[in-house]
Structure 1
């Protein structure tokens, strides 16, 4: 049921948001010259996939978890995208393809070994990663791997259709601050 909802919401989200996505893309061209950011992330069952987002940091920024990056690497437009969470919109393509769900644990980088081990121990990596979830709406990010893995496992163990809609609504309404940057 959740996969069907993911497919429908991502398909219609991409269709209806297309003009807006084009505008953000064009502004991003002026901001960084390269508005799309793609990065290998840990997917379901540790299978790699390419995450797609709007670029919020300078092109030459090192590929590290957000909490390890410097705030000086975030562009002015990128700060706006992060604050409004619009940088996440291209991930609807990842949801449409089945690499991600709208709700699930945020996909991490392969070099975040402590988080991967904690998630593996709790069975979190058996689920599709998501754009939002319980950890995100409670401002728990990848800087606290044990707490994040515990929160992800708790969410997955009790996830209902009502929770699915609740986390999406909370995210759209502005709950949670997104990934922290030093």
Structure 2
């Protein structure tokens, strides 16, 4: 799969899958909330961005501060998602040597003691600071503040039709699974939580999930 012009790429979804369609007001208000919150967040968090950038370069000067990774979004469209780099430079090339140590079932890869993660990386992952650059994706309209986690193309390739329903709406920075156990939630449970959100999404639910996310981030609970 070519990594150029990611927005022009897409992964086909089964035509029979449909999601409930909320009102136009919901879509408009959600986009306005996403845009304003992302813009204000990037401005207010600029000192954090500076400090974290310095720490990342100080520990591992060879690699970039930001890590961009191809992800699959709404309707199978691909885009580059941004995160603070929490692993050693060229960590993706080391994945094949660790894949048999995966600690979660399904297409995702999770490993509590992943040797690729740096000391700074452990801290920013546990506090979810590594996720802050995703506000750029929200500002661009590729992601929302609340929605399903955007999967990797290699994960989607082995999705079932049931799993594919996660891709019916715009992915988010946080969602049902992030406030329900984060790394301790299995892939099957994550899909079920995402589909619950798709069926019941509303501005009220979005606000509730964002407040819960704040608590999870502050407590650093279940993150690795």
**Band of TM-score, shorter chain:** 0.7 to 0.9
Alpha-carbon deviations, 1:56-76, whole Å to 9, x = none? 111121266541585211111
**Residues 75 and 69 of structure 1: CA distance in aligned 2, closer, same or farther (over 3 Å):** same
Segment of structure 1 superposing worse, 15-24 or 125-134 = 15-24
Superposition RMSD on alpha carbons, in Å?
Answer: 2.2
- Report what 1:75 is aligned to: 118
The alpha carbon displacement at 1:177 in A equals 2.5
Alpha-carbon deviations, 1:84-131, whole Å to 9, x = none? 1100100000000000001000111000133474332xx321211111
The alpha carbon displacement at 1:144 in A equals 3.2
- Report what 2:205 is aligned to: 163
Alignment partner of 1:103 is 2:146: yes
TM-score after normalising by structure 1: 0.87
Pick aligned residue for 1:59 from 89, 92, 104: 89
- Report what 1:16 is aligned to: 44
Segment of structure 1 superposing worse, 22-31 or 58-67 = 58-67
TM-score after normalising by structure 2: 0.72
Matches within 5 A, 1:82-121: 82-112=125-155, 113-115=157-159, 117-120=161-164
Contact 1:118-1:146 within 8 A present in 2 as well: no
Partners of 1:143 and 1:137 lie apart in 2 by 10
Partners of 1:167 and 1:74 lie apart in 2 by 28
Partners of 1:116 and 1:10 lie apart in 2 by 33
Q: Which has the higher helix share?
A: 1
- Report what 2:222 is aligned to: 177
The alpha carbon displacement at 1:141 in A equals 5.1
User: Which 4+ stretches in 1 moved above 6 angstroms?
Assistant: none
Segment of structure 1 superposing worse, 139-148 or 106-115 = 139-148
- Report what 2:17 is aligned to: none
Contact 2:71-2:79 within 8 A present in 1 as well: yes
Alignment partner of 1:36 is 2:66: yes
Structure 1: where are the runs of 5+ without partners? none
Contact 2:184-2:222 within 8 A present in 1 as well: no
Partners of 1:60 and 1:42 lie apart in 2 by 21
**Residues 50 and 15 of structure 1: CA distance in aligned 2, closer, same or farther (over 3 Å):** same
